[in-house]
Chains A and B, each alone.
Chain A
Amino acid sequence: MTLTSTRPAAAPTTPEPRRRRRRGSERGRAWRALLYVVLSIGAIVTCSPLLWTLVSAFKPTGQILRSESFWPDPVTLDNFRFLIENPEFPRYFLNSVVVSTSIVVANLLLASAVGYALAKLRFPGRRAVFVAVLLTFMIPAMVLFVPRFVTIAQLGLANTYAGMILPFVVTPISVFIMRQFISQLPDELLEAARIDGAGEIRIFARVFLPLCGPALATVGILTFVTSWNALLWNLVVAQRTDMYTLPVALTVMSQNEGMTNYGALLAGSLVTFAPIVVLFLFFQRYFVSGIATTGIK
């Protein structure tokens, strides 16, 4: 609490004469300067865990705890070298990439399909499908994972990519975003294409899908971030070490009391979150537009 709560609390409690309305720009400027200072301190505190990791991953292990200085001295790549030379770690990275990109591609295809059907087509049972979307929204992951694992195990998919990917190939959030976006596209497109004699699937693939760029970008980025960061399901399905994703591997490594190579652990954390942070910095408007349409991370 201590660090974070002090910062914005300062904002509204700034002394301000209540009755006297001395509107001079002088006070406005002082007020703004104070706001900048408080927000900047807050920003530094907020980013400090990430910055500390970035710097410490280049320190020798012995300097990470109880270190004399913030900066690494000497700068070392040993931690990263340890990870790369460890035969398992590149495999974890590969697993994360395979699982996340498969989930993204599947969601782009399948969520746009069902989103389009819900937004533009009339078919018996459409309401039921939409209710199913809402239901999946509401069931907590914590409630589902036990029986889901039993299902996966019975299908013989424990310890496989398929087992890690299949439950998430079309997530309710993706469907929701696609449906919202496609319902805003004009119905006239559909009618015109029908009059031209185009088949229904063709209308979806050739007329509507090309217009869905922004929504597809949002879906792609949200599903990538979610699956890259996911722990629980992969922890359950990947019981053999060669199937671990990065978060699973980090969890297991950090819970292992015998693991004293702190440098490698921090380098592993950095390698795990850095791609996501970079992705965010480049494509942030899609992250925010996801919130705008669904109200959900």
Chain B
Amino acid sequence: MLRPTFGRRPSEGGGRGPRGAGGRREEAVAGWLLALPFVVVFLVFSLWPMLWSLFMSFTDMTNRDLRSPFNVEFIGFDNFVTVLSSGQFLRGIVNTLVIVVVGVPATIVLGLLLAVALNNGIQRAKPLFRTIYYVPVVTTVVAIAVVWKFLFADQGVFNAVLATVGVDGRPWLTDTFWALPTIILLIVWRSFGFIMVLFLAGLQAIPQDLYDAARVDGASAPRRLFSITVPLLMPTILLAMVLQTVSFLEIFEEPFVTTQGGPLNSTATMSMLVYEFFGFGAYGEAAAASYVLFAIIGLLSLVQFRVLRSRT
């Protein structure tokens, strides 16, 4: 590092320590130097693409325009009209909302019950169970999605298990009704451990005295759950809701690998359709679709933050 020469700038307010204002300037230079890589990456790979994408969404840009990106026509809102009037995209919105509406509560209820169970009276085995339940969260989604195809195949293990209890199986992932629930099961499977750990952390903040007092008063276990745990955990529950909703609105890998959106678009999600427009080389439409997705995510998180603020 170059030491700035002394006395070049008038000292501001007397300075502190031996280097005074010179030190302050050196601090600013160092701050920028250390922050520079992040700033460059932010400008090149986040800010610029976001603005570029907004521009693209109003043009007829395709993959053939990569070499001369400014040689495109402005077509106003045509891309948004195309996207929003595409039956496929609307189906994608509906499917994604189903995933959120079913998946988020399922994940949160499961995570909450497990956290409460682990927090009550099984101190010694708690770390073991926490580890096991957390494994799906770190496991490569794509690899498990491949496995899911085998587990829920017509001749797969799941149907074999059902057969032993006398239930007729079905080809889960190729059935227009059952494919989406089968994928939601995968999504819940790989998410509840995260929520459980979030709740375990939240539970540590609830004083044990409350439970002791409730027990003395004769409150039953379900009563203690609904009158103490759930209300005091509400901030964490709402945080979990927001986090899960945002991540489920973006669901891509699970349906993409297992069903590719089929059969008959019954598992296509918003993200998959953005990818599809992109894959066809229709960059303008893909950009428009991604902004629609962004708007939906933004809107829903805003609503949830409002709720969160009014409830806590």
A142 touches B134 (CB 8 A): no
Nearest B residue to A106 via CB reads B37
Given B69, B185, B271, which contacts A142 in the complex, CB threshold below 8 Å?
A: B271
A123 touches B297 (CB 8 A): no
Does B148 make an interface contact (CB < 8 A)? yes
Q: Bound state CA distance, A191 and B23, in angstroms?
A: 11
The interface size of chain B toward A, counting residues with CB under 8 Å, comes to: 112
Name the distance in Å between A49's Cβ and chain B's nearest Cβ.
Answer: 5
Does B41 make an interface contact (CB < 8 A)? yes
In the complex, which range does the number of interface residues on chain A fall in? 35 or more
Nearest A residue to B51 via CB reads A147
Does A228 make an interface contact (CB < 8 A)? yes
B117 touches A8 (CB 8 A): yes
Which of A13-21, A71-79, A83-91, A210-218 faces chain B?
A13-21
Which of B6-14, B82-90, B205-213, B246-254 faces chain A?
B246-254
B52 touches A151 (CB 8 A): yes
Does A181 make an interface contact (CB < 8 A)? no
Q: Bound state CA distance, A132 and B41, in angstroms?
A: 11
A142 touches B27 (CB 8 A): no
B46 touches A43 (CB 8 A): no
User: Interface of chain A, helix or strand or loop or mixed?
Assistant: helix
A236 touches B151 (CB 8 A): no
B218 touches A21 (CB 8 A): yes
Q: Which of B26-59 contact A (CB under 8 A)?
A: 26-35, 37-39, 41-42, 44-50, 52-53, 56
Q: Bound state CA distance, A14 and B151, in angstroms?
A: 32
Q: Which of B274-312 contact A (CB under 8 A)?
A: 274-275, 278, 283, 286-287, 290-291, 293-294, 297
Q: Which of B158-207 contact A (CB under 8 A)?
A: 160, 181, 184-185, 188-189, 192-194, 197-198, 201
Chain B residue contacts of A135, Cβ below 8 A: 42, 46-47
Does B234 make an interface contact (CB < 8 A)? no
B48 touches A151 (CB 8 A): yes
Name the distance in Å between B104's Cβ and chain A's nearest Cβ.
Answer: 14
Chain B 129-169 interface mask (CB, 8 Å, partner A; 1/0): 10111111111111111111111010111001000000000
A291 touches B271 (CB 8 A): no
Given A47, A49, A246, which contacts B148 in the complex, CB threshold below 8 Å?
A: A49
Nearest A residue to B272 via CB reads A142
Q: Bound state CA distance, A232 and B50, in angstroms?
A: 17
Q: Bound state CA distance, A237 and B204, in angstroms?
A: 44
Contact of A65 with B56 at beta-carbon distance under 8 Å, contacts A1-B181, A295-B239 already known: no
Could you tell me which A residues sit within 8 Å of B by CB distance? 1, 3-5, 8-9, 11-14, 16, 18-19, 21, 28, 31-32, 35-36, 38-39, 42-43, 46-47, 49-50, 52-53, 56, 64-66, 110-111, 113-114, 116-118, 121-126, 129, 132-133, 135-136, 139-151, 153-154, 166-167, 169-170, 175, 191, 194-195, 197, 199-202, 204, 225, 228-229, 231-232, 236, 246-247, 250-251, 254-255, 262, 265-266, 268-270, 272-273, 276-277, 279-281, 284, 287-288, 291-292, 295-297
